[in-house]
Amino acid sequence: MTILLVRHGETDGNAARVLQRPDVPLNERGRRQAEQLARRLLAIGFVHIVCSDLLRARMTAAPLATRSGMTIEESPLLQERNFGDLRGTPYAALAENPFGPDFAPPNGEDWATFHDRVADAFAFVVDRRRSVNGTLVVVTHSLVCRALVERHALVPEGIVVPQLFDNTGVTVLHEDAPHGVSLINCTRHLLTSPATDRDCGPA
């Protein structure tokens, strides 16, 4: 285990299916998820935390920093896709599918721009992992998690990359090419089922 990729905890925007604004905080459930995540990752051990600079990601990383005594390193490269003028709009009110391949939100990022930024984010993550010489925690967003795994990692045969990564889902990547994935979108820290623990593996 060398790179622990994590989606932020739940927000009211997640629960209501809204394209989120940058300043949306975690809701009560999301704060609880962040604490559960911190307990899990502290048991594994890590040496550094990098994080999207959006509030919901920073709030998710905060218990990790508080419990470990580490400082969070923020990066705008790890932000969620920018949906521009549509941020704050419920999915149900949109005339088009915002995740469609040709959709370009007004004053936001089209897919090509987003994927270029995620490529830079991945280079940053790998470089930071090597510089700290130990397990790195990366707190980011669902579309970023999906893009990183689909485009920059080696997923085991027969494993389908989820369209939506769960709140505080943990994915494990190796820092060396081809960046093998040994665990994907695991939320066992939110559950109590022993069967779920076995399915998720050792992380």
Task: List the pLDDT tens digit at each of the 203 positions of the chain.
Answer: 699 999 999 999 999 999 999 999 999 999 999 999 999 999 999 999 999 999 999 999 999 999 999 999 999 999 999 999 999 999 999 999 999 999 999 999 999 999 999 999 999 999 999 999 899 999 999 999 999 999 999 999 999 999 999 999 999 999 999 999 999 999 999 986 444 443 465 55
Residue 172: both structure tokens together: 């494990």
Domain span at residue 20 reads: 3-200
Catalytic residues: 8, 80
Q: Give the 3-state secondary structure of residue 77.
A: helix
pLDDT (0 to 100) of residue 19? 96
Count of Cβ atoms closer than 10 Å to residue 76 Cβ? 10
pLDDT tens digits along 45-77: 999 999 999 999 999 999 999 999 999 999 999
Number of domains in the chain: 1
pLDDT (0 to 100) of residue 144? 98
Task: Determine contact, residues 50/138, Cβ cutoff 8 Å.
Answer: yes
Report the predicted TM-score, pTM, of the whole model to 2 decimal places: 0.94
Whether cis (ω within 30° of 0) applies to the bond prior to 178 is yes
The CATH number covering residue 73 comes to: 3.40.50.1240
Task: Determine contact, residues 39/66, Cβ cutoff 8 Å.
Answer: no
Distance CA 84, CA 107 (A): 5
Mark out the alpha helices in 45-107 (DSSP H runs).
55-68
For the chain, report the end-to-end CA distance as a whole number of angstroms.
8
Distance CA 78, CA 173 (A): 16
Mark out the alpha helices in the chain (DSSP H runs).
12-16, 28-44, 55-68, 111-132, 142-152, 194-200
Task: Determine contact, residues 174/193, Cβ cutoff 8 Å.
Answer: no
pLDDT (0 to 100) of residue 99? 93
pLDDT (0 to 100) of residue 201? 53
Handedness of CA 85, 91, 94, 100 (dihedral sign): positive
pLDDT (0 to 100) of residue 45? 96
Which residue, among 81, 86, 111, 76, has the nearest Cα to 19 in the 3D structure? 86
Which residue, among 73, 183, 79, has the nearest Cα to 140 in the 3D structure? 79
